[in-house]
Each structure stands twice: as C-alpha cells, then as structure tokens.
C-alpha cells in the first residue's frame, strides 16, 4: 500500500505547491505506515530523484510532452492506472486549478471519498478525519472519509515544505497516451515573478491608491519583500491593474503567510478571498474601514506617507541602500 502524490509543474519546473503536497503526503505515509510515492505526467528539467529529500521514496513518471498541457480526462485515466499498480489507498493533490480539474473525476473513477482544500494532516487515531475550510474561510469542518481509497487536495501555503536527505527511485511507466482531445494554441502568461497562489507574502492595493500612476511604491515594497502584488476588484475593473492580480471572492483566493492591504476598505467579497492569510496588515486612513476588524495589525494613516517610511524601514532591515 502507498500514498500517491500527484506532482504538478509549469514551464519545466515543479511547482512549490507540489513540494508542499509531497511533504504532506510523506508525513501522512509515515503516519499510516505505508510508502510515499510520487507521480509526474509530462517532462521537467528538474532532477526527479532529488524529490527524495522531501520524503517521496519512488517517483513514477510518464514522460510524454503532450502531457505538459492539462487534459483532465487523460490525467484521470493515467493517475487511476498508476494508483492501481502501486496499491495507493490515499491520493494527494494540490488544491490548485489543476487539482480542481481532476480531483472530482478521479474520485468518481476510483469510487473514492474526496476532501478538497484540506488544511491539516488527517486525524487517523479513530477513523480518517480531515479538516478543511468552509463558507469562504469563515469556518472549518472535519470530514470523515470511510471509502477504501481516499483523495485529498491540499490548500496552498497551509503545510510547510520539509526538506531532509534522500533520493527517490525513478520508475518510467510505459502507459499508452492517447492524442490529446484539447489543443492549446496559445498561452497568455500573467505578469509578475511570483504566482499569487504560491506567494508567501502579498502586497495589495485598493482605490485608496488613487490611480495606476501611484503603484510604484507598492511594487517597490513587494520587490523588497520578495512578494507578489495584488489588488481589489474596483482597481482591476478600472484598468489600473491586470485582472490576474484581483484577489477576492470573484477573483483569486489566496492564503499567504503575510497579506498587506493598502488603501483597501475590506468589503466582505474581498475578505472572502484573503481571510485564510496567516497574518493580515491593513493600512488605511479611514479608522472605520471594515478591514481593521479582520486585521492582525493596522495602521491608520495616509498610505502615501506611510509607504515611503515602510520601504525605508525594510531597506534598513535588509541592509539595502
């Protein structure tokens, strides 16, 4: 028996969320007394054997370039086959766009219980209980999975990447791959060095920034903190920032370790997309802004006065001239 961990990648590189899933799956394998095995579909430039340092013992791979683009039906079929050959009783995926696309179909194919968006390791002391967020992160629930095969998709940034020593055995799987049913003709890549969904720190701006010409300090602070930039919906709708930076209920839901909101009032729709952040810092000149009720730290004042001081403080801390 084993825990099978699906490993997602982009542009030849394994995603950080997949490293989190490997660490999570390896810990669960140790907890349940089985082996931890990984599965990668497509081709990457990374050394797959090095994934052993995160706890995976065997790496199954189907090295077909056509699998570099998501084809949910193909992925579900191949994962189901590998799960059968390695005796997987638990399958772990990241709760990302790819995970959301394939987890439900995989659950139906394998007749497996599924918990999406898990936030902690299962409690296996009396059954198999998985904790997850509900109601847009306003509460959490514990779900019991009783099926022989169990599937969990892990929320990004809720489990640390744990690195040690070790090397994984590489197993090249000879599985026929059908021609893809979906053809990708072009890709429009979002700007920014760090994907929002994987960022540990996010610096976000709202209408309080007054215009796109004032975004320089936000970008400077983000660069100093090695953070991603984001914005509220009105900012994206006004064309001040690209829509791929819009976080909130109708945008991208994120869960960074630190979320800095500058000039954002904190409407409930925005909160729904960021309230899984571990620490929220709010800067707003309106002391009655709703965001302060959800903030861990708040600064009441003009963002155009506070941002330069904050940037200088970070530069001093980092020893940057």
Q: What is the pLDDT along the chain (321 residues), one digit of tens a residue?
A: 999 999 999 889 999 999 999 999 999 999 999 999 999 999 999 999 999 999 999 999 999 988 998 999 999 999 999 999 999 999 999 999 999 999 999 999 999 999 999 999 999 999 999 999 888 777 899 999 999 999 999 999 899 999 999 999 999 999 988 887 777 787 776 666 678 888 999 999 999 999 999 999 999 999 999 999 999 999 999 999 999 999 998 999 898 999 999 999 999 999 999 998 999 999 999 999 999 999 999 999 999 999 999 999 999 998 876
- Residue 62 pairs in a beta bridge with 41
- Domains present along the chain, CATH in parentheses: 2-172 (3.40.50.620), 196-318 (3.40.50.1220)
Buried b (16+ CB within 10 A) or exposed e, 213-242: ebbebbebbbebbebbbbbbbebbeeebbe
Helix axes 303-318, 216-224, angle to 10 degrees: 20
Sequence-distant (6+) residues with CB within 8 A of 175 are 62, 78, 81, 82
Between CA 102 and CA 169 the distance in angstroms is: 26
pTM equals 0.86
Structure tokens at 285: 């000149």
Residue tagged 């039906």 (tokens): 73
């Amino acid at each position: 028996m084993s825990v099978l961990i699906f490993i997602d990648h982009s542009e030849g590189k394994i995603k950080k969320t997949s490293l989190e899933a490997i660490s999570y799956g390896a810990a669960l394998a140790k907890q349940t007394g089985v082996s931890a095995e990984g599965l990668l579909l497509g081709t990457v430039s990374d050394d797959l054997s090095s994934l052993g340092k995160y706890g995976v013992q065997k790496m199954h791979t189907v090295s077909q370039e056509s699998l570099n683009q998501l084809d949910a039906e193909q992925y579900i079929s191949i994962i189901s086959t590998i799960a059968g050959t390695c005796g997987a009783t638990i399958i772990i995926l990241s709760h990302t766009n790819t995970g959301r696309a394939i987890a439900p179909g995989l659950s139906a194919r394998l007749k497996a219980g599924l918990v999406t968006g898990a936030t902690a390791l299962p409690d296996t002391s009396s059954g198999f209980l998985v904790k997850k967020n509900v109601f847009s992160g306003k509460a959490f629930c514990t779900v019991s999975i009783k099926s022989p095969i169990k599937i969990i998709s892990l929320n990004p940034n809720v489990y640390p990447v744990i690195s040690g020593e070790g090397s994984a055995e590489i197993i090249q799987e000879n599985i026929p791959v059908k021609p893809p049913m979906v053809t990708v003709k072009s890709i429009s890549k979002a700007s920014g060095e760090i994907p929002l969904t994987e960022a540990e720190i996010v610096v976000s701006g709202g209408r309080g920034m007054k215009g796109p010409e004032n975004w320089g300090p936000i970008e400077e602070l983000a660069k100093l903190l090695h953070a991603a930039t984001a914005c509220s919906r009105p900012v994206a709708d006004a064309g001040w920032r690209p829509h791929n930076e819009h976080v909130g209920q109708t945008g991208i839901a994120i869960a960074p370790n630190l979320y800095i909101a500058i000039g954002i009032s904190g409407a409930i729709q925005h909160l729904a997309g960021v309230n899984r952040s571990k620490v929220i810092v709010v800067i707003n000149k309106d002391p009655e802004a709703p965001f302060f009720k959800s903030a861990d730290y708040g600064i009441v004042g003009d963002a155009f006065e506070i941002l330069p001081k904050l940037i200088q403080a970070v530069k001093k801390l980092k020893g940057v001239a």
